[in-house]
Amino acid sequence: MQSREEVIIGNQAIARGLVEAGLEIAAAYPGTPSSEILPGVVYFKKMEGLKIHTEWSTNELCAFEVAFGAAAYSGARAACFMKQVGLNVAFPALLRSREKTIEGGLVIISCDDPGPQSSQTEQDTRLIATLFGIPVFDPASPTEAADVAYYALNWSFENKVPVIIRSTHRVSHARESISLYSPGARKVSLKEGHLAGTGRKLGIVASGMSYSLVYDVIEELGAADVVSIYKVLKVYPSSEALSDFVRSMERVLVVEETDRVIEALIGDHKKVMGRSDGTVPSSGEITYDIVRDMLSGVLGRLGLGRKDLFAPDGTIEEALSDVAVVPRPPKLCPGCPHRASFFAMQYLWPDAIYPGDIGCYTLGISQGAVDTCLDMGAGVTMAEGFYDAFNQDGKLVPILASVGDSTFLHACLAPLYDAVKNRKRFILVLMDNSTTAMTGMQPTPQTGVTVDGVKTRSVAIEEIVRGLGVEYLKIVDPYDVPLMIGTIREAFDYLKGDEMLPAVIIARRQCLLLTKGAAKEAAYPADIESDCVGCKSCLATFDCPAMSFDEGLKKIRIDDSICTNCGICYYACPVQVKGKALRKLKVAVKQGAK
């Protein structure tokens, strides 16, 4: 029986489907675009008054193993949620789990990030599932995602096999009106097969959001009578009907994100167009314009095209060519404590080696204080590798690694212990903002709060760092830029000593999104405009979204509407008189912190 409708995003729809299917255990580590699924489970379990165990795990492997443990031997209906690169962290357990007969049900939701928009790589969860023979679904909309989640958990429970649902950020973050059913009562509508079109010369096979796009573009092009569209929902194992469809078409075009999976399963390179022959771009998100261009081209080549196919109006770009539009590359928020840390790091040693990690603070790259971004934890371990490479040549160079608090707990404990045990000398700046900011402010183990909002034991990072054997440990407020710079210098002096251990500086200040707004360190937005000589050096070293260069006045301008009054940009201004900040800074650099 249908209870009601609610406008929710795809991730909440997935949560709803699982809750309705009798989910008992859910564990996750946040990662865009998957982060809203677990809070969705909490929301719906409270709404329905159900008892479901929900937890933020410390990483994806923990999440997977909690869910697998519950499903494998206790007979529970369990699920775990992660982003596509998180699935790599859970990989050892995932591969073993497919061989085990589980007693209960297990659904793994892995959300891919075509583009990638918020990941270090694109990666296709469907490819991993297919390679290792794990059933995988690819829903095409939030509505279908809710149905698939419901169906998959029941199917897994009945067949005693883990199932993967692959979402993409366009499915996970699209908003639709979703039907909410009573638990156990969902009316599931799963669509797979030859769903649209009547042509035989070109068959288009597509799955997930790519199917939805192809459908809309074919509507716009009015080509439904000359092509046929086949929608794939269960990518692996693939159905007989798909083989029949492919056989019945003269040519076949496969549109899928982000890798060649259905295309490889079909084979037949003579008949099939797709990524292999360059018809579909080899990487990047498939957008409406890409599909429209691609289909127009293919229809034209096969003699199925129409004369009035879409041609872009180039005069739009011509008319805009002289209009100065503020560029808005990804940046740390105004007032972000990370920006202050990066400024201090970069100020002291512009040419140091800066191994970085995965989180908001990867954006420190624009301040010249992040050089690498490999995977979670690599900020620490790559620092070790850099140290070894220089140490072999008898050189001790400044290496300043940076990592956030949530990532530290996720992936850096073993690397930091490794660095202690193997006597590596570098400085680790642990940027502790008390939250998992980039993925939407989830609590960390240090916060001491569960996903349900219940108090739990909090674990202090400094105790862990000391426990791992680190001796040099300082906790500094990154807004105190002179102290920060002095401490980094002091830490490097320590590295020159006999201890031969890494030095750790915890730069601790809460994320501004957590404190809800202004830093309020100063009463007014920073006045760096009046002294400005137009040198633009603050743009390079500070890179605050509230700063822009006024080409007319040849001066920096501060946007009062987003400035948080943190006042840290005074340090970044080499001519600033009012703040006297730089002079203080130079004294601090000379003396070192006491």
Q: Which residues make up the interface to another protein (CB under 8 A)? A: 5, 7, 117-118, 140-142, 170, 173-177, 209, 211-213, 215-217, 220, 287-289, 292, 310, 312-313, 315-320, 322-323, 325-326, 328-331, 333-334, 360, 363, 437-438, 513, 545-546, 561-562
In the complex, minimum distance from the CB of residue 314 to another protein, in angstroms, rounded to a whole number: 10
Q: Is 323 exposed, middle or buried (0-12, 13-18, 19+ CB in 10 A)?
A: exposed
Rounded CA-CA distance 373/393 in Å is: 25
Of the pair 315, 530, the CB lying nearest another protein is at 315
In the complex, minimum distance from the CB of residue 571 to another protein, in angstroms, rounded to a whole number: 20
Of the pair 52, 370, the CB lying nearest another protein is at 370
In the complex, minimum distance from the CB of residue 420 to another protein, in angstroms, rounded to a whole number: 32
Rounded CA-CA distance 300/361 in Å is: 47
Of the pair 74, 283, the CB lying nearest another protein is at 283
Residue that is written with structure tokens 């070293």 in the block: 541
Of the pair 318, 498, the CB lying nearest another protein is at 318
Question: 18 and 79 in contact (C-beta within 8 Å)?
Answer: yes
In this structure, how many other beta carbons lie within 10 angstroms of the beta carbon of residue 321?
7
CA distances from 12 to 34, 52, 110, 537 (A): 10, 16, 14, 44
In the complex, minimum distance from the CB of residue 394 to another protein, in angstroms, rounded to a whole number: 40
Of the pair 117, 238, the CB lying nearest another protein is at 117
Rounded CA-CA distance 236/126 in Å is: 8
In the complex, minimum distance from the CB of residue 286 to another protein, in angstroms, rounded to a whole number: 9
Of the pair 229, 261, the CB lying nearest another protein is at 229
Query: Per 3-state DSSP, what percentage of the chain is helix, strand, and coil (rounded to 5)?
Result: 35, 20, 45
Residue that is written with structure tokens 């000589």 in the block: 533
Spatial CA neighbour of 430 closest among 416, 442, 443: 416
In the complex, minimum distance from the CB of residue 232 to another protein, in angstroms, rounded to a whole number: 15
In the complex, minimum distance from the CB of residue 428 to another protein, in angstroms, rounded to a whole number: 23
Of the pair 70, 217, the CB lying nearest another protein is at 217
Q: Which amino acid is at 259?
A: D
Of the pair 124, 285, the CB lying nearest another protein is at 285
In the complex, minimum distance from the CB of residue 516 to another protein, in angstroms, rounded to a whole number: 12
DSSP letter string over 15-72? HHHHHHTT--EEEE---TTTTTHHHHHHHHHHHHT---EEEE-SSHHHHHHHHHHHHH
Q: Which residues of 155-194 are buried (b: 16+ CB within 10 A; e: fewer)?
A: bbbeeebbbbbbbbbbbbbbebebbbbebeebebeeebeb
Q: Which amino acid is at 364?
A: G
Beta strands 175-181 and 2-9: pairing type? antiparallel
Rounded CA-CA distance 40/81 in Å is: 11
CA atoms within 13 A on the CB side of 242: 22
In this structure, how many other beta carbons lie within 10 angstroms of the beta carbon of residue 126?
27
In the complex, minimum distance from the CB of residue 561 to another protein, in angstroms, rounded to a whole number: 7
Of the pair 154, 366, the CB lying nearest another protein is at 366
In the complex, minimum distance from the CB of residue 285 to another protein, in angstroms, rounded to a whole number: 10
Of the pair 221, 246, the CB lying nearest another protein is at 221
In the complex, minimum distance from the CB of residue 492 to another protein, in angstroms, rounded to a whole number: 31
Written as six digits, the tokens of 407 are 């990532």
In the complex, minimum distance from the CB of residue 321 to another protein, in angstroms, rounded to a whole number: 8
Of the pair 330, 534, the CB lying nearest another protein is at 330
In the complex, minimum distance from the CB of residue 546 to another protein, in angstroms, rounded to a whole number: 7
SS3 336: coil
Rounded CA-CA distance 211/287 in Å is: 12
β-pair partners for 421: none
In the complex, minimum distance from the CB of residue 510 to another protein, in angstroms, rounded to a whole number: 14
Of the pair 69, 305, the CB lying nearest another protein is at 305
**DSSP run (H or E) holding 462:** helix 461-467
Beta strand ranges found along 198-318 (DSSP E):
202-207, 227-232, 234-236, 251-255, 272-273
In the complex, minimum distance from the CB of residue 262 to another protein, in angstroms, rounded to a whole number: 18
β-pair partners for 548: 557
Of the pair 79, 295, the CB lying nearest another protein is at 295
Of the pair 365, 483, the CB lying nearest another protein is at 365
Rounded CA-CA distance 446/432 in Å is: 10
β-pair partners for 442: 436
Of the pair 154, 435, the CB lying nearest another protein is at 435
Q: Would you mind telling me the total number of residues written for the chain in this entry?
A: 594
Written as six digits, the tokens of 327 are 């560029």
Beta strands 202-207 and 227-232: pairing type? parallel
Rounded CA-CA distance 39/14 in Å is: 11
